[in-house]
Amino acid sequence: MNKSIIASAIAATLLSTSALAAADMPTVYGNIQLKWQHSDTDGNGGTTGLANNGSTIGFKHSAKVNDDLTAFAKIEYNVNNSDNQNDDGLTLDEAYVGVEGNFGKVWIGSDDSVYGEYIDLVDGFDALGVVDGVSYSTGQGDLVQFVSSSMEGFQVFAAVQLDASDAGRENAFQLGLAYSADALTLALAMDSNDSDGDDAKSTFGVSATYTMDNLKLVGEIHTRDEVSDVVAAAAIYTAGANQYQLTLAHASFEDDTDSTTVGLQALHNMSSNMYVYAEAAFMDKESSDKTDFAVGVLYAF
């Protein structure tokens, strides 16, 4: 046989094997986040320092099961990049596996809960927490979650927490409904909070998002009997590579104390991978007043 034909066949086989292996490899992604923050409570001089702000590294993959079903998986770690002497450099953040198709998607493992994804939207600053008093406890781990496909604009979402350490206790769960039409999205949901104990009160929440050109408006309400009532709203304006956000939040607590917070953020996208920002939050609370300032950077890959 002609040697060139044999060589060509071997090369083709190697190339196809390499291409198949590359196509089957998971996607590696991550980000490095650092912030400088100053916090002052009741004018006591406060604290100032440089810190990690949630840097992560992760792996994700999806594979077609058949024409109607796709399987997916993800694992993500928090990275402590502010102290190279820390032995706890990697801690698990998310790890789940699931399937999706025309019905929607269902997945099991550790991930942000659907209540947080659909209702807890306003507190979206990078470094500072600007919404005080939101209380729901069905956590990130041991979750089975479901989000339906859109049916005339409606979506159902749910989560159940299967925690073997709480034998004999009711499984905590979340349940909600979302509706989207053009620029408007509305959602309502509840969290049973059963992981807090047999006498835990449920949390109920609603959210609304409206987008028009460069302006996005977000509002939410959370209420939990014997704990807190929270109202929050944000306006986010995008101008080229810059984004500006104003957030207002008010919380009323069971002990008859209140807190009001004003948050400001300016963010500049230096590239598709990197942005820098500055944030300020001013909280007026009956027990104490707090002022926070932060500047930070995120590089994603």
Report, as an integer, the average pLDDT of 274-286. Answer: 95
What does the H/E/C string look like for 34-67?
EEEEEEEECCCCCEEEEEECCCEEEEEEEEEEEC
pLDDT of 99-138, one tens digit each? 999 999 999 999 999 999 999 999 989 999 999 999 998 8
The encoded tokens of residue 18 equal: 């390499």
Q: Which residues contact 97 (CB under 8 A, 6 or more apart)?
A: 71, 72, 73, 107, 108, 109
- Residue 127 to residue 243: CA distance in whole angstroms: 15
- Residue 262 to residue 258: CA distance in whole angstroms: 14
Q: State the Cα angle at 221 between 268 and 159, rounded to 5°.
A: 90
Q: What is the pLDDT of residue 14?
A: 47
> How many helices and strands in the chain, by DSSP H and E?
2, 17
| More confident position, 246 or 80 | 246
Burial class (CB in 10 A: 0-12, 13-18, 19+), 118: buried
- The CATH architecture that domain 21-300 belongs to is Beta Barrel (2.40)
Q: Is the pLDDT of residue 186 over 90?
A: yes
Read off the pLDDT band of 10 (50, 70, 90). Answer: very low
pTM, 2 dp: 0.85
Domain-wise residue ranges, the chain? 21-300
